[in-house]
Amino acid sequence: MATPGAPAFGEDSLIARYFKPLATDAGAFGLSDDTAVLKALGEDIVVTTDALVEGVHFLADDPPDTIARKALRVNLSDLAAKGATPAGFVLSLALRKVDEAWLAAFARGLGADAADFNCPLLGGDTVSTPGPLMISITAFGRVPPNGMVRRSGARPGDHVVVSGTIGDAALGLDILKRGRVAAAFGGDAAARDLLISRYRVPQPRNALASAVRAHAHAAMDVSDGLAGDLAKLCRVSGVSAVIDLKSVPLSEAASIALAAGFVGMAEIISGGDDYEILCAIPQDALEDFAVAAQAAGVAVSPIGTFIAGDSPPKWLDVEGKELPLTRTSYSHF
């Protein structure tokens, strides 16, 4: 994403108009070079990347500012789960055509979040494509030396803890696709809009990063579905888990859809795009973690316990019966 000697047309002009204003870090050199410098400041650099593809991660008619926000926020969510502070990001954008109005709104949304989360644009690339629109972001964060929280540290006896609420984004997508959940909120525009916004604009829990770093044995963000992501964390940590389904935090809207039979609990815990934090908190640290989360303004809920073993996590209903899961998470393949 270089603009040296930029002409008044083409890719360089596009970059200069829409993305140079976002490159506020001195190490980005105003996007005038092919590379950027990110100073480590004596800390470890955490790197994460996610790509969003039209028709897979967002819908063709989603507002461009929400697409931009989601593209950055899914990466910020990864940094939060690692206990990292955002430092900057690079952007690759594949466009079918240059639509000035779309780009202006996209850059406006991206710039607002870059400022709000103190995560400036450092560089990137723009290309044309005959296929679907694609946005790929690689984000960088900082942690103290050896301070990154990995997936692999959960221990038997640790509490399974999640932030926020689960399942809202999957319900929002179902509404946008005019699925059966839409019928549950035919006359409730506020609930419908809340669920849609949870799908279009995730809420990364960066305010919780320092608490995760201080107290969690292991952590990851919930992107593909709580059930599947918990299974991933357990597998890497060499443990299993027992989950109390009634403790899984739900929004009021999700609770209404569940009670009315428009969605089942299996769908809620296997739906993607939650972008909440899933972590293993030692028993003696749970209270301190909860206090830190409250101070950060993020709700957290213990939902179960990690146990010894290598069997898949068990999801138990109010009667202690295991919920059968035919699908645990979203998968691209």
Q: Which residues are annotated as a binding site?
A: 34, 48-50, 57, 78, 124-125, 151, 221, 223-224, 273, 330
Which residue in this structure is represented by tokens 């697409």?
A: 67
Residue type, 327: R
Contact of 140 with 45, CB cutoff 8 Å: yes
Binding residue numbers for ATP: 124-125, 151, 223
Contact of 196 with 58, CB cutoff 8 Å: no
What's the CA gap between 290 and 292, in Å, rounded?
Answer: 5
Phi and psi, residue 54, nearest 5°: -55, 135
Provide the CA 269 distance to its chain's centre, in angstroms: 16
Binding residue numbers for substrate: 57, 273, 330
Tell me the three state secondary structure of residue 142. Answer: strand
**Contacts for 58 with CB less than 8 Å, ≥ 6 apart:** 52, 66, 67, 70, 200
Contact of 275 with 73, CB cutoff 8 Å: yes
Alpha helices by DSSP H, the chain? 10-18, 64-81, 100-116, 168-176, 181-184, 189-200, 209-215, 226-237, 252-259, 265-270, 286-296
Binding residue numbers for Mg(2+): 34, 48-50, 78, 125, 221, 224
At 91, list the tokens.
């952007």
DSSP summary character for residue 84: P
C-alpha count within 13 angstroms, C-beta hemisphere, residue 175: 28
